[in-house]
Chains A and B, each alone.
Chain A
């Protein structure tokens, strides 16, 4: 088993939990099961079509793809030092909005890294 946790900000808010609570019921179980598979298999599943690497300067930065028409996305960071996957930010893929969401995920990632002393 691999450790997975939601990113939690200073006020105790967890963006991915809040996003999932708003998610269509037809998408929720699909996303949850992929999170479970990540928990069970770790890096092995990152090579499947369930995940993609998020291109850019940040390493160990991935996106989970799932839901109806693969429209749901969750940005994930693999914190090797803590051997933990951090669920940073969730969004619904829409034309033209993807970059904006990836940038938001990147901002959350850098916020997370700053709390880890990196």
Chain B
């Protein structure tokens, strides 16, 4: 029996375009989950404190940090602004060394993605933690990389132009 590795399994499944799309959606949610949890911890905030500031509930923050929620871009911007951050995105390869499925068209001719196939998108966060779970004026800056689902579909890439 052949011994499989997780990366092999994922690479093979990504050849299916429908799976690839769902995987990309999950990737965006999970990337935001990790970013939000990291920033919140850096600010020494609890999920409840963040929820109070955002006008959300703690279970919703828990869902976001579990990659289970599907917030709109507006909600993300809203939430980040409350903790002194803003959204910046980057389109990166979905998985290293994954061949494009035959049914897709590459975006190498796209105006924005032409040079590198990626867009320079990062979380850029500027804040000052006041030591008591809050924040005041910008003082410390940090960058929290976020992976956006790189798409091989011009229709999806069009959103970035």
Contact = CB atoms under 8 A, between A and B. Distances in A.
A65 B66 contact: yes
Interface in A52-81: 65-66, 70
B19 to A, nearest CB: 6
Contacts of B19: 25, 28-29
Given A8-B3, A44-B38, A34 B22 contact: no
Interface in A1-25: 4-6, 8, 11-14, 17, 20, 25
Interface in B10-58: 10, 13, 19, 22-23, 26-27, 30-31, 33-34, 37-38, 41
Contact of B65 (A4, A35, A49): A49
Contacts of B2: 12
Residue from B4, B5, B30 whose CB has the most chain A CB atoms within 10 Å:
B30
A78 to B, nearest CB: 15
Residue from A14, A28, A33 whose CB has the most chain B CB atoms within 10 Å:
A33
The DSSP consensus for interface residues of chain B is: helix
A32 B13 contact: yes
B91 to A, nearest CB: 16
B95 interface: yes
Interface residues of A, number: 33
**The 6 residue pairs across chains A and B that have the minimum distance between CB atoms:** A49-B66, A12-B1, A33-B26, A29-B22, A49-B65, A29-B23
Interface of A: 4-6, 8, 11-14, 17, 20, 25, 28-30, 32-37, 39-41, 44-45, 47-50, 65-66, 70, 87
Given A6-B4, A32-B10, 11 more contacts: A20-B9, A30-B22, A32-B13, A33-B30, A34-B30, A37-B67, A48-B67, A49-B62, A50-B30, A65-B66, A66-B68
Interface of B: 1-7, 9-10, 13, 19, 22-23, 26-27, 30-31, 33-34, 37-38, 41, 62-63, 65-68, 95, 147
